[in-house]
Every structure is written in C-alpha cells, then in structure tokens.
Amino acid sequence: MNRIWAIAKNTHREAIRDRVLYSLLFFACVMLVASLVTEEITIGDQEKIMRGTAMGAISLFSSVIAMFLGVSLVYKELERKTIYTIAAKPIPRWMFVMGKYFGLLLTLAVNLGIMALLYLVIMGLRLGMPHPSLLAFLALLFVELMLLTAWATLFSTYSGPTTASAFTLAVFVIGHLADDIWSFGQQAESPWVQRLSEFLYWALPNFEIFNVQPEATHELAIGWARVATATGYGLAYSTVVLIAAVVVFQQRDFK
C-alpha cells in the first residue's frame, strides 16, 4: 500500500504543479461566482436557478478536469518515458495503474472540495444554510468522477490523449443518454433493436444514475438507498474498468 500511496502522492503533486489545472479551477470559480448574476436576470425561483447554475458549473468543470487529467494519466508516463525508471523498480504494474488512479482521485477530491467550499460561502451568504441534499449531490458527483476517471485511465493505457479524449467523451455522453437508449429500444418495433438497446444499456455506464442535481436544486430529500445503490454501482463498474486497464497495461512493451 505504501508504494501505491507513493505513486498516488507523486501523481497528485504533478497535477497540482500543472498550470492548466489552475486555469480550469479558476474558470469553475468564476462560473460559481457568476451564478449570483442569475438572480438579477431571472424572474421567479431565483434561488433554484442560482443553485442549479452553480451545481451545473461544479459538475461540468469537475468532469472536464477529470477527463483532461485522466486521458493523459498513463500515456504521459509512456510518452515522457518516466515509466522506464518506475517499471524497473519492484512495482507490479497493477500497483502503478492504481497509484496513478488514486493520485488523480485525490486531485479531483481536492478540486471538488475547493468548489464545494466556494459554493457554501456564496450560497451561505445569499440563501442561508444549505439543504442536506447538497451532500448527496457532491458524493454522487464524486462517484461519477471515479467512474469517468476509470474509463479515461483505461483509454490512456493504450492510446494517445486525442484518441483517449474522444473515447472518454463518447463514454461520458453516451453514459448520460443511457435512459434514452433504453426508451428508444422499448419504443422500437423490431425485437433486434430492442435487444441491442438493452445490451447497450446494460453494457455501457449509466451516468444518469448519479445525477441528483434536479433534486438538490429543488432541495428535495434524496433517499440514502438511492445514494447507496448508485455508489455501489459506480464502485463495481469502476473496479471492472480498472481491471481491464491493468490487463491492457500488463501486456504492454515499453519501446
């Protein structure tokens, strides 16, 4: 565990010394502050629109940062050949992949923490104490980021950042359309289309399962059963994707 933690800390240290990360974080904070402006330009339900805009900004920028850092997570090590000295140490390759993954999660958790803190300050000053559903929103957003990062890590183990970005973005978009794929299949007359849509629904990740933003925006209660189910789904799916990433990485020759 110490060795995984060493790689995770190094990955986190590398990310927080990357200026691009600060740029993204800066824009996320600007968007959060800008959510205050929505109060001035909307009629009725201003509080909900403020909360919705701010949560949307947190969700969007967290996902962008996860994809941005995740797609080059392993590839950068291969491209810069820093892997040469690491892989020649008594480190099994699975430990390296897990270390990189946990390091990125650590960075994402810190970013999410900063954005959440800013949200609390802004909304706290304007709207008072936040509703507990905010906690469920943040927790499930982090589980979603875990799954997204796992996919980005998998693509990063065998392809360059451009291809990995395209694949990860595709998974992200399709994952948010999972319910639509199911509905489309149910409405189709052909049994083949129905089966295909069912297969796609179950095979591809369903990112909508983590989406509790509408409830959190309207300050509705979110049951713990729902949070636990989505968390279990996210953890199980992430594990499977990470195992695939380890298997791919295990086969690689470093040229």
Partner 1 sequence: MTGAQPIAAPDLAIEIRGLQKTYYSGFFRRPSRGLESLDLEVPKGEIFGFIGPNGAGKTTTIKCLVGLQYPTAGHAFLLGQPIGSPEARRPLGFLPERPYFYQHLTAREFLDFYGQLFDIPAALRRQRTDALLARVDLERVADKPLHTYSKGMLQRAGVAQALINDPQLIILDEPMSGLDPLGRMLIRDLMLEEGRRGRTVFFSSHVLSDVQSICHRVGLIAGGRLRAIGSIDELLSEQVQHVDCTVRVPPQVPLLGEAVTSRGDERIVRLPPEQLDDLLVQVRQAGGQVVQVIPNRKTLEDLLLSELGRNDPTTPPGVSP
Residues 137, 212 contacting (CB under 8 angstroms) = yes
User: Binders of partner 1 among 62-81, rule CB under 8 A?
Assistant: 80-81
Query: How near is the Cβ of 94 to partner 1 at its closest, in Å?
Result: 10
Name residues contacting partner 1, limited to 196-255 (CB under 8 A): 253-255
- How many residues touch partner 1 under the rule CB under 8 A: the total is 25
Binding mask 1-20 for partner 1 (x = CB under 8 A): -xx--xx--x--xx--xx--
- Return the residues of window 89-118 that contact partner 1 according to CB under 8 A: 89-92
User: Shortest Cβ distance from residue 163 to partner 1 (Å)?
Assistant: 17
Angle, to 10 degrees, between the axis of helix 161-176 and the axis of helix 46-70?
140
- Does 158 bind partner 1 (CB under 8 A)? Our answer is no
> Rule CB under 8 A: which residues touch partner 1?
2-3, 6-7, 10, 13-14, 17-18, 80-92, 253-255
